[in-house]
Amino acid sequence: MKKYNDFRVCSVGRTLEVLGDKWIFLILREAFFGETHFDGFAKSLGIATNVLSDRLRWLVQNGVMKKEKDANDGRRACYRLTRKGLDIYAITLTLMQWGDRWLAGDDGPPLTLTHKTCGNTLTPVVCCEACGKPVLAREVSWQPGPGAKEKKRGEKIKE
């Protein structure tokens, strides 16, 4: 995976260094749909096998997925999400929600989610953990956090 020059110290940039590839998100989506096998990913996504191999290795290296041997078939590998990987579900949901809202045709979204806990159709909303309300961009301000200086080791920072 390539590096960015990205001079702003920000977790968005760090996340994109791990997940910032089109295929990664699609592989993870398939994983959330239950896929675990190499050929399953390949067939669903139409991805070149060398790239799939590379991306799965990357995801394992970065602790997002773990590779195990299939108990029933020694040839097969099982790629499963770690807790770190399962936590990406929130990102996948927001990607899906944006597409449902802005890219779906008049027919509506191609896929519907059900929140089994409450029984309703799931519409994912990003909320403030403290007050529980949906978050709008204009209602948020930002300031340096505790780890702000961390990246100064040798690297350029804006201004």
Partner DNA sequence: CATTTAGCTTGCAAATTGCAAGCGATTTTT
Partner DNA sequence: AAAAATCGCTTGCAATTTGCAAGCTAAATG
In whole angstroms, what is the distance from residue 129 CA to residue 159 CA? 32
Binding-site size for DNA (CB under 7 A) equals: 26
Stretch that binds DNA, among 68-76, 112-120, 135-143, 150-158 (CB under 7 A): 68-76
- According to CB under 7 A, which one of 77, 86, 93, 113 is a site residue for DNA? 77
- According to CB under 8 A, which one of 36, 38, 45, 76 is a site residue for its own copies? 45
Q: Rounded to whole angstroms, what are the CA distances from 8 to 16, 17, 148, 151? A: 13, 13, 10, 10
In whole angstroms, what is the distance from residue 65 CA to residue 80 CA? 5
Stretch that binds DNA, among 47-55, 102-110, 124-132, 135-143 (CB under 7 A): 47-55
User: If binding is defined by CB under 7 A, does position 21 make contact with DNA?
Assistant: yes
In whole angstroms, what is the distance from residue 137 CA to residue 117 CA? 29
Stretch that binds its own copies, among 50-58, 70-78, 97-105 (CB under 8 A): 97-105
Residue 53's binding partner among DNA, its own copies, none (Cβ under 5 to 8 angstroms by kind) is DNA
User: If binding is defined by CB under 8 A, does position 136 make contact with its own copies?
Assistant: yes
User: If binding is defined by CB under 8 A, does position 13 make contact with its own copies?
Assistant: yes
In whole angstroms, what is the distance from residue 24 CA to residue 27 CA? 5
| Shortest Å distance, C-beta 41 to DNA | 8
In whole angstroms, what is the distance from residue 99 CA to residue 79 CA? 27
| Shortest Å distance, C-beta 40 to its own copies | 10
* CB-neighbour burial class of residue 54 (10 A; exposed 0-12, middle 13-18, buried 19+): middle
Nearer to its own copies, 4 or 70 (CB): 4
> What's CA 145's distance to the chain center, in Å?
23
Nearer to DNA, 42 or 93 (CB): 42
